[in-house]
Amino acid sequence: MDTAPAAPSRRRLLIGSALGSTIALGGVLAARAVAGAGPRGVPAPAAEEVCVVAPPTPHDPASGLAPLAARPAPADARCPVCGMYPARHPRWAAQAVFDDGAAQFFDTPAHLFLYLQNVARYQRGRTLEAVRALYAADHHGSGWLALDDAVFVQGSRALGPMRTEDLPAFASAKAAAAFIAEAGGTPLRAAALRRSLPAGLRAQAPHRHP
């Protein structure tokens, strides 16, 4: 009987087994890194990571808009909190404008409020102190509202672009009340939301660390 091929076959099996073990170990270490733990269960240093790169959009003098004015969300602008495209959800969008006129766009007001809690977490090199203007889109489609002038509705049956609880914004208490009569919820102002976000909205923050 010819048994010559047996040895190479055994070698191939051993090599394949070693490669499989290496790949499996790499997967475990990667999973631990994502979960915040290093090899052998040693906790890794907490890192304020961001899922996507979403830099602010510089002010365009040719637009004719003042540096701190609200402006349309560019089609390619991404939310720094979730990575979605705010221009695709104009009734939910929000924006923060910095002292240099650059604007950061958000797909929802909830993500703007999350961003304001820790600006540097989502955009390295930027600070809350440098934010000069804040806007939210009127949910009825009438344009941008200064954040402090808007009335937000929390806990309604209307889900945001990510199909989660959110904060539709309205130009007046009367408009918010009409919305609440149909979809439920509670009216809130920006000052209260900046002091403390409801738990359902805080839970939307990515990369939470204990």
Per-residue pLDDT of the chain (210 residues; tens, 9 = 90+): 444 444 444 444 444 444 444 433 343 333 333 333 333 333 333 444 444 578 999 999 999 999 999 999 999 999 999 999 999 999 999 999 999 999 999 999 999 999 999 999 898 899 999 999 999 999 999 999 999 999 999 999 999 888 888 999 999 999 999 999 999 999 999 999 999 888 778 777 765 433
Q: Is residue 145 part of a domain?
A: yes
Q: Provide the pLDDT for residue 59.
A: 97
Do 104 and 152 fall into the same domain?
Answer: yes
Do 194 and 98 fall into the same domain?
Answer: yes
pTM: 0.73
Do 91 and 20 fall into the same domain?
Answer: no
Q: Is residue 85 part of a domain?
A: yes
If you write DSSP's letter for every residue of 150-186 in order, what string do you get? -EEEES-S-B-TTSSB---EESSHHHHHHHHHHH--E
Domains in the chain: how many in total? 2
Domain hosting residue 16, numbered range: 6-41
Do 138 and 87 fall into the same domain?
Answer: yes
d(CA 171, CA 71): 17
Do 152 and 81 fall into the same domain?
Answer: yes
Do 73 and 177 fall into the same domain?
Answer: yes
Do 129 and 31 fall into the same domain?
Answer: no
Do 99 and 17 fall into the same domain?
Answer: no
Q: Is residue 210 part of a domain?
A: no
Do 78 and 156 fall into the same domain?
Answer: yes
Q: Is residue 130 part of a domain?
A: yes
Do 65 and 114 fall into the same domain?
Answer: yes
Q: Is residue 121 part of a domain?
A: yes
Do 22 and 90 fall into the same domain?
Answer: no
d(CA 166, CA 103): 21
Q: Is residue 14 part of a domain?
A: yes
Do 90 and 156 fall into the same domain?
Answer: yes
Q: Is residue 46 part of a domain?
A: no
If you write DSSP's letter for every residue of the chain in order, what string do you get? ---TTHHHHHHHHHHHHHHHHHHHHHHHHHHHHHHTB-GGGPBPPP----SS--PPBPP-GGG---TTS--PPPTT---TTT---GGG-TTT-EEEEETTS-EEEESSHHHHHHHHH-HHHHSTT--GGGEEEEEEEBTTSS-EEEGGG-EEEES-S-B-TTSSB---EESSHHHHHHHHHHH--EEE-HHHHHH---HHHHTT-SS---
Q: Is residue 19 part of a domain?
A: yes
